[in-house]
Structure 1
Amino acid sequence: MKAIDKKWWHNAVVYQIYPRSFMDANGDGVGDLAGIISKLDYFQQLGINLIWLSPVYKSPMDDNGYDISDYDDIADEFGTLEEMERLIQEAKRRDIHILMDLVVNHTSDEHPWFIEAKKGTDNPYRDFYIWRKPAPDGGPPNDFRSYFGGSGWAYDEASGEYYLHQFSVRQPDLNWDNPRVHEEVHAMMNRWLDRGIGGFRMDVIDLIGKEVDKQIMANGKNLHLLIRQMNRATFGPRDSITVGETWSATPEDALLYSDPAREELSMVFQFDHIKQTWDEVHGKWRSRPFELSRFKQSIDTWQTALADRGWNSLFWSNHDLPRAVSKFGNDGEYREVSAKMLATALHCLKGTPYIYQGEEIGMTNVRFSTLEEYRDIESLNLYRERVASGVTHDEMMTGIYANGRDNARTPMQWDASPNAGFTTGTPWLGVNPNYETINVAQALSEPDSILWHYQKLVALRKQYPILVYGDYQMLFADHPEVFAWVRRYEGELLLVINNFFGNHLTLPIPEQMQSWHGDCLISNYAPRDQLAVSLELQPYESFALLIRNGEA
């Protein structure tokens, strides 16, 4: 195993905040920076030391902040730049760094650069964006489709040209073939780093090297060159943490991004394990049954591929994905034990764990009764497009219930008071009705809650280097219900066993493992300190056994 260059963030656990839904301090129904500041002691109690903050920049909120109109200011609904600087400093006082969400594949159509670009083909900012003349029939330059539905080209009547938008029509793509875009973006990033943030989460960063006329949007030929330039001009010399959102990444790609010798990113988010439950034709809008064998193989592939040179990000959920316990666990009878199992499994793999807000209390997916109660632009646009093409209302709603982005965006459930303690006003998105029993106050009052299980996992990561640096080897690879592995580091061994289903089962133990015994670091049932000829596993049972002095 290659000796690793240890970084300050290697033993960190990241907590993602979706600001609009986290905590509303002024009663307008939208979460804000003041609300986040008011909960910093909660994060300190949980033990996390990095907060990934989804975008809070100035924005018309066509895509809830992922459409930025001013990178150097804060959206009014979230607060002020002064409050943002206070958040950075108050967090740092608690040994917590802020990870800003950076969206530089595109801007809002209200950004001053785009407003200037639309003034004419000879405007100095015209080439900050991607323009093409119409096709011979007057239509779009090609048939590229937006990820949010419809054509990826929007017509500008004033100039008679089309501009590219891979997402909303109000999110024009930046032209990364223009060196002036690099200069402006790098300068902006350095201004944020100068304010003391810990680094960046980089939205759809694999799209900035796009080769438009070839319709190569991800992994274009200049992608890694652009990222290396960004690294050297901004975060690289500052020892920051960076994580790139890369839906297209293969394990080979991830090594290009995260090998420290290449000076690109700290790690990437890849979604291979997430897409295991998506239909191969219809994507996330039609689910296929969860198959542990496929899921294990995906995680094993990534753990193995990035073992010596790269670094993995570890996550079950985020602001774009369904709730972890609803997707991979059991949000009914076994909600608590399955949520703990998922937590143990995630935090005992090699890489940096990410907790999405509410995951630590086992928040679940929501089923609103009408389409009108949903707010997500992707869900609403795709609903209209697909129903118009023949998909039934019920089919589309089933897809939204399973994988729609609003599942993760319902307000954080703080207590059993009206609107879950999130706001004294009317929340921008409805609260999950189960907030009266699933909330932070309730979890804090129960010594054996999911929340305290997470706190223990965060603490263990800081205490035991094997959780951070130990190598990984899967066990029981062919077992259809158990995901298990060992990790080894400096003469110690960590055995992790997870029953991913709600069945009682008997797990035969290989002879060479039957004598293993040690300290049970964590369990969601009674602690286990030794193995035997077989293990009788409870529904969703999970534990981690530390074996010292090379006994195994």
Structure 2
Amino acid sequence: MDRKWWKEAVVYQIYPRSFMDSNGDGVGDLQGVILKLDYLRELGIDVIWLSPINKSPNDDNGYDISDYRDIMDEFGTMQDFDELLHEAHLRGIKIMLDLVVNHSSDEHPWFIEAKKSKDNTYRDYYMWHPGKEDGSEPNNWGSRFGGSAWEYDENSGEYYLHIYSKKQPDLNWENPALRGEVYDLMTFWLDKGVDGFRMDVINMLSKAEGLPDGKVREGFKYGDGVPLYCDGPKIHDYLQEMNREVLSKYDIMTVGETLGVNVEQAKLYTGADRNELNMVFHFEHVFLGDGKLGKWSPGPWKLTELKTIMSRWQYGLREDGWNSLYWSNHDQPRAVSRFGNDSPEYRTISAKMLATCLHMLQGTPYIYQGEEIGMTNVRFDKLSDYRDIQTVNAYRDFVGGEQLSHPEMMESIYQRSRDNGRTPVQWSAGSNAGFTEGTPWIGVHENHKEINVERDRKDPDSIYHYYRKLIQLRKEHGIIVYGTYDILMEENEQIYAFTRTLEEEQLVVICNFSEQLPVFEFPRHIQFSSKQLLISNYTVDTNDEIATITLRPYEARVYRLV
């Protein structure tokens, strides 16, 4: 297998707004990140992925960019960024930026110009269309943030497309001048020394020709545009051009956020000879349990469903391409609340189990800030406590449309709102969890007195120190990076077990996803002369026989066999 630094790396995602506030204004900032670089070096991570730091009016917390070459006022200055880049590199930590180029802010100079007239030079930087003959929107697509995906402009009598907020107009990638602008701004950052890009909704750049109507699903007012604006006809042309013009000239890491892609499509984005991206984020596992209203009507899911998804991606990208491994991020609920058990009894042990499972799969693991101490979902009392535009709009649409009651919607929010991952990092048991001396932009979780970095660092048996060990094992054992994956006990609803194999060496990974005490039967086809327990989340007698293991609740073990 082709060995690359980005395959061997562990990435830590920072959502700057919620990470660390250095100046007491209640909002995390770049100096706050600098303050915590030694913490991240101690954890052992290799790459920081920074969610958007560019200048923005913050309609969608920075994913609406008004200046691609400047820093958001709340986060600091370009001098702060240059200092962060320098200090991170001194510690052997690389910096990956969020590239948001499916859309800009409506306050970007390009869009301000585009609105002035139909013959303005920048008009064609965006997707403008006249309405249908009856004056209605050009098609029936719904915005991913609720309502129509089209906004009417009185001045020109045309609509512009916005897959997200109306303050996030979609860029027109058909226009070569626009593409040239994007490649220039990417080069600007790479020439500064940035080590890569996480590319926001990158598979949305090419829309279906003619912009046809989408299918209207039960319970929804608008058409589903996902099949029509994801993986469009020219997407690979654009990415290969981007690679040719920019990416191929630097030794960097690239990961694309690709809503709705399957394994076969992912091979097109990440194949070694395709000259596009290093890897992609898929969404299959985080959609588990979605109901007819998507994540806003969540239901139960089975471990066999999760294993089927993970195995499909592990086998599918085994020969060509590469996996991104994640349980949570800024758009997802907390990992231990979503896939583990966040009760006081099982939070620590199940968080360690989830970490073991993820970090032992083949691919590049991503840790989302706070995951390394087992931060949990939050239950705010009132809708007004939530800041996420998607959450607020969903409440308006589904409760206002009488599809969900207030209690039903609030329960869905508790389970799935993006704000679950956006509460401030819990650094200490002190005021505002040590995040800020001011008033935090979003509420701090009340459990910060029990769950915080300061406490975890002092406890050698904590989740934090378990993550440190996992990351260190990855650096010591090439099999964790490059070994092939094979699933065991495929039909078991409690145990997720698999092997990793590299030449004469093999790992057996055993994870109990339940409170039950299931029995793991060691496969007879696996032959070995010696065994080594690499890591476990319970105390284990290393002399124990492993032919039959009765697993404790949420137990995880990794054996190295030779």
Q: Normalising to structure 2: TM-score of the pair?
A: 0.95
Contact 1:513 1:531 in 2 (8 A): no
Query: How many Å separate the matches in 1 of 2:530 and 2:516?
Result: 25
Could you list the per-position Cα deviations for residues 262-297 of structure 1 after superposition, in whole angstroms to 9, with x for gaps in the alignment? Answer: 000000000111112211x11101111130010100
Query: How many Å separate the matches in 2 of 1:75 and 1:507?
Result: 52
Q: Please report how far the alpha carbon of residue 388 of structure 1 lies from its aligned counterpart in structure 2 after TM superposition.
A: 1.6
Secondary structure at the counterpart of residue 309 of structure 2: helix
Q: 1:518 to 1:528 in 2, by over 3 A?
A: farther
Q: 1:470 to 1:531 in 2, by over 3 A?
A: farther
Secondary structure at the counterpart of residue 95 of structure 2: strand
Could you list the per-position Cα deviations for residues 132-177 of structure 1 after superposition, in whole angstroms to 9, with x for gaps in the alignment? Answer: 1122222211111101010100011111110000000000000000
Could you list the per-position Cα deviations for residues 57-106 of structure 1 after superposition, in whole angstroms to 9, with x for gaps in the alignment? Answer: 00000000000000000010000011111111110111111110000000
Residue 245 of structure 1: which of 257, 275, 294 is its match? 257
Could you list the per-position Cα deviations for residues 459-486 of structure 1 after superposition, in whole angstroms to 9, with x for gaps in the alignment? Answer: 1111100000000000011111000000
Contact 2:24 2:436 in 1 (8 A): yes
Is 1:417 matched with 2:430?
Answer: yes
Residue 348 of structure 2: which of 318, 324, 336 is its match? 336
Q: Please report how far the alpha carbon of residue 178 of structure 1 lies from its aligned counterpart in structure 2 after TM superposition.
A: 0.3
Contact 1:515 1:531 in 2 (8 A): no
Query: How many Å separate the matches in 2 of 1:533 and 1:44?
Result: 39
Match of 2:225 in 1: none
Match of 1:168 in 2: 165
Secondary structure at the counterpart of residue 8 of structure 2: coil
Query: How many Å separate the matches in 2 of 1:397 and 1:173?
Result: 31
Q: Please report how far the alpha carbon of residue 505 of structure 1 lies from its aligned counterpart in structure 2 after TM superposition.
A: 2.3
Match of 2:334 in 1: 323
Contact 1:528 1:543 in 2 (8 A): no
Query: How many Å separate the matches in 1 of 2:34 and 2:200?
Result: 24
Query: For structure 1, which segment, 499-508 or 81-90, has the greater mean C-alpha deviation from structure 2 after superposition?
Result: 499-508
Residue 42 of structure 2: which of 41, 45, 49 is its match? 45
Could you list the per-position Cα deviations for residues 40-63 of structure 1 after superposition, in whole angstroms to 9, with x for gaps in the alignment? Answer: 000100010100000010000000
Query: How many Å separate the matches in 1 of 2:184 and 2:546?
Result: 60
Query: How many Å separate the matches in 2 of 1:528 and 1:81?
Result: 53
Match of 1:266 in 2: 278
Residue 477 of structure 2: which of 448, 464, 480 is its match? 464
Contact 1:206 1:248 in 2 (8 A): no
Match of 1:354 in 2: 366
Query: How many Å separate the matches in 2 of 1:123 and 1:528?
Result: 73
Is 1:122 matched with 2:114?
Answer: no
Is 1:155 matched with 2:152?
Answer: yes
Contact 2:500 2:508 in 1 (8 A): yes
Contact 2:117 2:123 in 1 (8 A): yes
Query: How many Å separate the matches in 2 of 1:531 and 1:162?
Result: 69
Contact 1:366 1:401 in 2 (8 A): yes
Query: How many Å separate the matches in 2 of 1:88 and 1:290?
Result: 42
Query: How many Å separate the matches in 1 of 2:281 and 2:336?
Result: 20
Q: 1:508 to 1:162 in 2, by over 3 A?
A: same
Contact 1:515 1:532 in 2 (8 A): no
Query: For structure 1, which segment, 203-212 or 146-155, has the greater mean C-alpha deviation from structure 2 after superposition?
Result: 203-212
Secondary structure at the counterpart of residue 214 of structure 1: coil
List alignment gaps of at least 5 residues for structure 1.
none
Secondary structure at the counterpart of residue 412 of structure 1: coil
List alignment gaps of at least 5 residues for structure 2.
214-227
Q: 1:378 to 1:13 in 2, by over 3 A?
A: same
Query: How many Å separate the matches in 2 of 1:58 and 1:375?
Result: 19
Q: Please report how far the alpha carbon of residue 387 of structure 1 lies from its aligned counterpart in structure 2 after TM superposition.
A: 1.1
CA RMSD of aligned residues (A): 1.1
Is 1:394 matched with 2:407?
Answer: yes
Secondary structure at the counterpart of residue 74 of structure 2: coil
Match of 1:296 in 2: 307
Q: Which amino acid aligns with 2:151?
A: A
Q: Which amino acid aligns with 1:27?
A: G
Q: Which amino acid aligns with 2:323?
A: N
Secondary structure at the counterpart of residue 466 of structure 2: helix
Query: How many Å separate the matches in 2 of 1:454 and 1:510?
Result: 28
Residue 284 of structure 1: which of 295, 298, 305 is its match? 295
Q: Which amino acid aligns with 2:212?
A: K
Could you list the per-position Cα deviations for residues 348-380 of structure 1 after superposition, in whole angstroms to 9, with x for gaps in the alignment? Answer: 000000000000000000000111100000000
Query: For structure 1, which segment, 282-291 or 96-105, has the greater mean C-alpha deviation from structure 2 after superposition?
Result: 282-291
Q: Which amino acid aligns with 1:446?
A: D
Match of 1:538 in 2: 552
Match of 1:65 in 2: 62
Q: 1:45 to 1:213 in 2, by over 3 A?
A: same
Query: How many Å separate the matches in 2 of 1:139 and 1:531?
Result: 71
Query: How many Å separate the matches in 2 of 1:373 and 1:360?
Result: 25
Q: Please report how far the alpha carbon of residue 237 of structure 1 lies from its aligned counterpart in structure 2 after TM superposition.
A: 2.3
Match of 2:218 in 1: none
Match of 2:212 in 1: 214
Q: 1:522 to 1:532 in 2, by over 3 A?
A: closer
Query: How many Å separate the matches in 2 of 1:26 and 1:512?
Result: 60
Q: Which amino acid aligns with 2:393?
A: N
Match of 1:20 in 2: 17
Query: For structure 1, which segment, 360-369 or 141-150, has the greater mean C-alpha deviation from structure 2 after superposition?
Result: 141-150
Q: Please report how far the alpha carbon of residue 507 of structure 1 lies from its aligned counterpart in structure 2 after TM superposition.
A: 2.3
Percentage of identical aligned residues: 53
Is 1:80 matched with 2:105?
Answer: no
Query: How many Å separate the matches in 1 of 2:17 and 2:528?
Result: 52
Matched residue pairs, number? 544
Is 1:408 matched with 2:405?
Answer: no
Secondary structure at the counterpart of residue 353 of structure 1: strand
Secondary structure at the counterpart of residue 165 of structure 2: coil
Is 1:314 matched with 2:325?
Answer: yes
The residue correspondences of 1:199-238 to structure 2 (distance < 5 A) are 199-211=196-208, 213-214=211-212, 216-238=228-250
Contact 1:201 1:244 in 2 (8 A): yes
